[in-house]
Structure 1
Amino acid sequence: MKRIQPFVGLTLPLCLSCLLVQAVAEERQLEAYECEQDGVPSFSDSPCGPDGQRLGLDYEQPSAASVDSARRAVDETEAQTDRYLRQIELQREIARSEGRISDLRKERDAKLRQLRASLNNAEGRTTQSIWDTGVREQMAEVAARYASDIEAEQIRLERLLQREVELGRP
Structure 2
Amino acid sequence: MEVRFFGTAVDTFDVVGDRFSDLVTLNEGENRIQVVAIDAAGNRTTPSVPVEVFFVQSAFTDIPKRFGPGSEFFIGLLEPANRLLIHIFNLEGMLLQRIEGGAGDLVNIPWDGRDDRGQLLSSGPYIAVVEAFLNSGEVVRTRSAFVFSRTPVTAEDQ
Q: What is the TM-score with the length of structure 2 in the denominator?
A: 0.22
Q: What is the TM-score with the length of structure 1 in the denominator?
A: 0.21
Larger Rg: 1
